[in-house]
Amino acid sequence: MGVGTSLRRLGLGYPEILLSMACFLFLFLRHGRRGSRLPTKWPVLGMIPGFVSQSTWCFHDWTTEVLRESGCTFFFKGPWCSGMDILGTSDPANIRYIFNANFANYPKGGQFLEIFDILGDGIFNADSDSWKTQRKVANSRMPRFWRFVARVSREKVEKVLIPLLARAAEHAAVVDLQDVFLRFTFDTTCNLVFGVDPGCLSPDLPSVPFANALDDAEEVLFFRQAVPMGWWKLLRWLQVGEEKKMVLASETICNFITGRISERMDEVAKVRQDKEVPMRLEVQLDAGRKRHLSTRQVDPVVFGADDLSSAIYLEAALFESLRLFPPVPFEHNGAARPDVLPSGHKVDPKAKIVIPLYVMARVEGIWGKDCCDDWKLKHEPLYKFLSFNSGPRICLGKDMAFTQLKVVAANLLHKFHITVVKGHVEVPSLSIILHMKHGLRVNVEKRV
């Protein structure tokens, strides 16, 4: 008598049998290997059952435990013919080799371009000559652009951000500081790129479809890297599920960008028609901002970029925050040709290479138990601190972005006492950008 016949005599049909088997498999995966976070490799399914059972609640923490237990490098075997074989490594020697010593063999690659198709063929997706040309052009314009960014950011802090938090303090209102900073970044970026201010930091904190679309796109891009390529491509063809969300997000993003381009072209045409000297970009931005500035008296910025060059403690705190919570929690590469990493692991061109920045910050073998060094900043190589990438692809705006961080942080900390709301839960979201799933709810008080 078969097991299936016996179970059916007990009143269990095939749906119940399958459900029981699924529950058994789930419990085995959760508790069958006590003390180990390494996923089991199953026939056909590979390691995907362990990934599903362990990572859905705390993906970043689970990945950290896997790489700790495996000695900083782990080969994840995906389901048969899924194209989901992934080599994850947080080994600084491997990272230095990939990003520096053998950079030419580790381009973004065609698979990366397919996943991040929403970024087009710009510098983030480009390889080879296209990447070199775009980087050269961007680098040549960086000094002038940096001066422009410094001025725009300072004005935004002084005229919008500080008054916004001052109002919150007056009314004892709880503020989602993550949302505020995202709005600040979005406003300043639109100023710099499009010459318009969308007013995300207006007193009523309006909903911004373009910003919401970017959030949706980031979540879909994470989803694409967590499932077989054939699966998300099928969803895209059917326009359902996550890929339906990407279609809607792409339409919103494209409509916003084309609208801003059209507005700028109309402005230029009007200037030429009036036979005036074409306005410089800075003047156009000033005109665009005035529609959204508060009529209240603004509180002047105390600290500018030049005032913070010796702010060692602030700089250390920001670096430590970026190390523990990198804006981009993982990097994605591929090998053009078969290779062997310094750790001895073989690299197949068909496999993805994932470098989890979030994990690297939590490996004692890399950073040690004590991060202090006689109360001085300890300079580490960028292949250990990847928040701004490393090697030839290092972020061109690294110094500019960090100075902007210091200006915002110094002025807010000088003017306000900011505390996290008691009981607020801080959990990382599943996205290609590291956000807090529930935001960062804080109380704001003016310093006397």
Query: Is 87 exposed, middle or buried (CB count within 10 Å of its CB: 0-12, 13-18, 19+)?
Result: buried
What distance lies between CA 203 and its chain's CA centroid? 27
Indicate the DSSP class of residue 99.
Answer: I
Task: Tell me the residue ranges of DSSP E strands in 133-266.
Answer: 175-176
User: Residues 340-374, buried b or exposed e (16+ Cβ, 10 A)?
Assistant: ebbeebebeeebbbbbbbbbbbbbeebbeeeeeee
* Structure-block tokens of residue 406: 């210091």
CA dist 281 and 193 (Å) reads: 10
Which amino acid is located at 237 in the chain? Answer: W
Q: Does 395 show up as a binding residue in the annotation?
A: yes
Alpha-carbon distance of 77 to 48, in angstroms, equals: 8
Token duo for residue 376: 């001085």
Cβ–Cβ under 8 Å, residues 428 and 436: yes
CB 416 within 8 A of CB 155: no
Count Cβ neighbours within 10 Å for each residue of 397-420 and write b for 16 or more, e otherwise: eeebbbbbbbbbbbbbeebbebee
409/284 Cα distance (integer angstroms): 28
Q: Kindly report the backbone phi and psi dihedral angles of residue 51, in degrees, each rounded to the nearest multiple of 5, phi listed first.
A: -60, -45
DSSP SS3 for 372: coil
Radius of gyration of the chain (CA): 25
CB-CB contact of 97 with 342 (8 Å) = yes
Contact 338, 349 (CB under 8 A): yes
Q: Return the closest-CA partner of residue 185 out of 161, 168, 209.
A: 161
Q: Which residue, among 331, 313, 310, has the nearest Cα to 321 in the 3D structure?
A: 313
Residue numbers belonging to the annotated binding site for heme: 395
Residue numbers belonging to the annotated binding site: 395
